[in-house]
Amino acid sequence: MKVKGLRWLMVSLIFLVTVINYIDRQTVSVLKTSISQDLGLSNADYAAIQNSFLLFYGISQMVSGRLYDVIGTRLGFVFSIVVWSSAAAAHAIARTALSFSVFRAVLGFGEAGNWPGAAKVVGEWFPVRERAFGMGIFNTGAAVGGALSPPIIAWLATAYGWRATFIVTGALGFIWLALWLVLFRTPDLHPWITEAERAHILEGASGTASGPAWRPGWLQLLTYRQTWSVVMGRFITDPIWWLYIFWLPSYLQEARGFSLRQVGQSAWLPFLAAGVGALGGGYASGALISRGWTVNRARKAVMIFGALLTSAGILAMRASDPYVALGWMAVVLFGFQVWVNNLQTLPSDFFPNTAVGSVFGLGGAAAALASILFTWGTGQVVDAFGYTPVFFVAGILGPLGLVVTLWLAGRIDTVAIERKAETA
């Protein structure tokens, strides 16, 4: 049996698992107020719990990126799913801040593999001009998961309690895993792929490395300024996303007076906008390339547009109407996903596929480290001064990350970096 357009089925699987990834990670965020009241947790305690997630998430970005490069995407996702889904369900038995921190740490270690794994799948299944759009599809899963989480989790918790909610959300990953094992193979091994699609995937790849696989270590990768453009771009800007993931539901309840039901009814809006941004950002750069723009010019134009929109969070803090504030926050997450979708495509623009997972993992580790520091600071600042200062600071990070990333990246040119790789 041959299936036309098989790459779209593969990226659909990645989209679906990313939705599940975000539902699992946001369960604590949506239920933060209920759990804190039940267990007597402060904002600083909550920040510590989320930082345990980020710490092991960052460690796992490097480990998982390397793991996926060595054992491949099929087995890599099996490992990640089993670890994170088991940990997600285990939150149901947590009784203290310490036990929550332990389960969050294991969850973070497992969930991190989704990102270098997904980037690697896109690099395997899509030609260069379609990769940003492929990244946009799976990144939309993060936004859709973020949008679905508040209403689904609020409904489950209201009907069955917060402990049962963790069991239900944790089971989703194992259902997906069955689909993955049946449907996924790499293009060179998949029995359903047509010769036309295999040729299409290789389109534009004549300048990429061939022959013996180049699989550099982390230290060697860090000798490239292009690696540092990904690392520093993620380090500076990812705290924007995590601020909204971890703190938006509690901000709406504690600063704007929303009930849990109101959070479920409205907190999805910024994440829906993020999904539009992920798809739109990926499509835009691919469309510009198809019209004759260079990869360098197309990526940078779209990244500039997205990064500048993230400053709208400052306007959200100045809005007196909470729904106007939500609207500005939607602009922030739309812009962030336009930006980060193209930033996350850079590893496959710069490096051969045998190094994409490792470079992506280094960027993810840097993002996690910065987000740990920002989340810790948020807990301290919110307890002392409220939410406004941290959202103001987040409004500056997008333009700052843009400047640093473009300066380090130089010209986005795969052939140049791979010629250097071949002599390394």
To the nearest 10 degrees (0 to 180), the angle between helices 225-254 and 6-30 is 50
Q: Phi and psi dihedrals of 3, rounded to 5?
A: -120, 125
Cα Rg of the chain, angstroms: 20
Among 56, 184, 29, 174, residue whose Cα is nearest residue 110: 56
- Write down the H helix ranges in 43-194: 43-71, 73-90, 97-111, 114-125, 128-160, 162-183
Among 90, 69, 128, residue whose Cα is nearest residue 354: 69
Among 79, 74, 72, 92, residue whose Cα is nearest residue 173: 79
Which pLDDT belongs to residue 364? 83
Domains, the chain, ranges and CATH? 6-185+196-201+218-423 (1.20.1250.20)
316's tokens: 């959200």
The residues with which 193 forms a beta bridge, in sequence order, are 3
Q: Is the pLDDT of residue 406 over 80?
A: yes
Give, in degrees to the nearest 5, the angle at Cα 235 between 232 and 241: 135
Predicted confidence (pLDDT) per residue in 228-269, tens digit = 999 999 999 999 998 998 889 889 988 998 887 888 888 888
d(CA 347, CA 352): 8
Lowest mean pLDDT among 206-220, 246-260, 346-360: 206-220
Reduce the DSSP state of residue 3 to 3 states and report it.
Answer: strand
- C-alpha to C-alpha distances, 167 to 146, 197, 349, nearest whole angstrom: 18, 40, 40
d(CA 25, CA 20): 9
- CA 396, distance to chain mean position in Å, is 20
Predicted confidence (pLDDT) per residue in 47-87, tens digit = 888 889 988 988 887 788 788 888 989 999 999 999 999 99
Q: What is the DSSP string of 360-385?
A: HHHHHHHHHHHHHHHHHHHHHHHHHH
Residue 213: pLDDT band (50, 70, 90) is: low
Q: 363 with 233: CB under 8 angstroms?
A: yes
Q: What is the DSSP string of 156-225?
A: HHHHH-HHHHHHHHHHHHHHHHHHHHHH---TTT-TTB-HHHHHHHTTT-TTS--SS-----HHHHTTSH
Q: Is the pLDDT of residue 209 over 90?
A: no
CB atoms within 10 A of CB 160: 12
417's tokens: 């970096």
Reduce the DSSP state of residue 321 to 3 states and report it.
Answer: coil
What's the DSSP call for residue 113? T
Exposure string (b/e) for 227-240, b if CB count within 10 Å is 16 or more? bbbbbbbbbbbbbb
Q: Once rounded to an integer, what is the mean pLDDT over residues 283-290? A: 88
Among 393, 236, 388, residue whose Cα is nearest residue 311: 393
Predicted confidence (pLDDT) per residue in 306-348, tens digit = 999 999 999 999 999 999 999 999 999 999 999 998 998 898 8
Q: Phi and psi dihedrals of 193, rounded to 5?
A: -75, 140
Write out the H or E segment, with its range, that includes residue 23.
helix 6-30
Q: Is the pLDDT of residue 371 over 80?
A: yes
Among 222, 273, 230, residue whose Cα is nearest residue 412: 230
Which pLDDT belongs to residue 204? 55
Which pLDDT belongs to residue 260? 79
Which pLDDT belongs to residue 201? 87
Write the CB contacts of 254 (distance below 8 Å, at least 6 apart in sequence): 33, 387
pTM for the whole thing? 0.74
Which pLDDT belongs to residue 205? 53
Predicted confidence (pLDDT) per residue in 85-125, tens digit = 999 999 999 988 899 999 999 999 999 899 889 988 998 99
Compute the mean pLDDT over every residue in the chain, rounded to the nearest whole number. Answer: 87
